[in-house]
Amino acid sequence: MPHPNRDAVYRLLKAEGLNRLPPAEKARKPHGSFKDYEVGFIHVDVKHLPKLQDRDRVSRKRYLYVAIDRASRYVHLAVKDDETTASAVAFLTDALGAFPFKVTHVLTDRGSCFTADAFEAACERHGVQHRKTRPYTPKTNGMVERFNGRVQREVLGITLYRHADLEIVLRGFNAAYNGRQQRVLNGLSPEMVLRRRLEADPALANPTYRQPSPSLIKRAMRIVEDAKEVSHPDRRRI
């Protein structure tokens, strides 16, 4: 397989035209602005995934946990079996090692998994300030919700039947997203923004950071290509 650039990989992972077209986008309203923070202020949310075949061949729902850094737009995501406090704490712990910088603040909604004493205790144990959105103001956490909307349009439209395949595609999409240049970042990618910030202030770096496997995107691309062949078998004869 040739080695396309990161933008090409991102476009491939969008997989347009597989089993349905993405809904037409409505006119966007201007987003509110946040107080400026250094890297390390992450927004966290949970998205319900579709019911697919699981490891035991039983169809069930799973849950996508997403964390996005306010300053750099760098994203970490993980799929969990449920929307419980234990899974929220496990995701927080994973995220602290998955970001290249030290996490200082976490913003969540007021879901029960985030307001539980165990989640508050985990934040305190790791020296992270936990902030919650105000009641009835879901747009406060709109940054991560917009990313979830992108996942809905660009990943969940792919025809997949197993959670294992969806999880690999999501992780590949995550890696491609972090390397993709974005207009909101003045043409830089989240990785570029972080590289500059960490070079300017090495004290921000996370000493426990674990770099993602370089094979993630390739594995995701193979699954997407297989999904294309299943959805459009006649393409191979064109």
pTM for this predicted structure: 0.81
Check whether 59 has a pLDDT greater than 70.
Answer: yes
Q: Give the tokens for residue 190.
A: 């989240």
Average pLDDT over residues 37-51: 93
Q: Name the average pLDDT for the chain.
A: 85
The whole-angstrom separation of Cα 13 and Cα 85 is 31
State the pLDDT confidence band at 189, using cuts at 50, 70 and 90.
Answer: very high
Q: Tell me the one-letter amino acid at 158.
A: I
Q: How many CB atoms are closer than 10 A to CB 102?
A: 19
pLDDT, residue 96, reads 96
| Residue of 110, 113, 101, 126 lying closest to 196 (CA atoms) | 101
On the question of pLDDT at 136 being above 80, the answer is no
pLDDT of residue 210: 85
**Bigger pLDDT: 138 vs 122:** 122
Q: Measured between alpha carbons, how far is 54 from 6 in angstroms, rounded to an integer?
A: 30
Per-residue confidence (pLDDT) for residue 11, from 0 to 100: 59
Q: Is 1 exposed, middle or buried (0-12, 13-18, 19+ CB in 10 A)?
A: exposed
The CATH number given to 6-17+36-231 is: 3.30.420.10
CA angle 117, 143, 7 (to 5 degrees): 125
> Where is pLDDT greater, at 18 or 168?
168
**pLDDT confidence of residue 177:** 96
User: Percent of the chain at pLDDT above 70?
Assistant: 79
Give the domain ranges of the chain.
6-17+36-231
Q: Do residues 156 and 51 touch, judged by C-beta distance below 8 A?
A: no
Cα 157 to its chain centre, rounded Å, is: 16
The pLDDT confidence band at residue 37, using thresholds 50, 70 and 90, is confident
Strand, helix or coil for residue 232:
coil
**DSSP code string of 1-31:** -----HHHHHHHHH-TTSSSPPPPPPPPPPP
Residues 6+ apart with CB under 8 A from 43: 67, 68, 70, 107, 108, 141, 143, 144
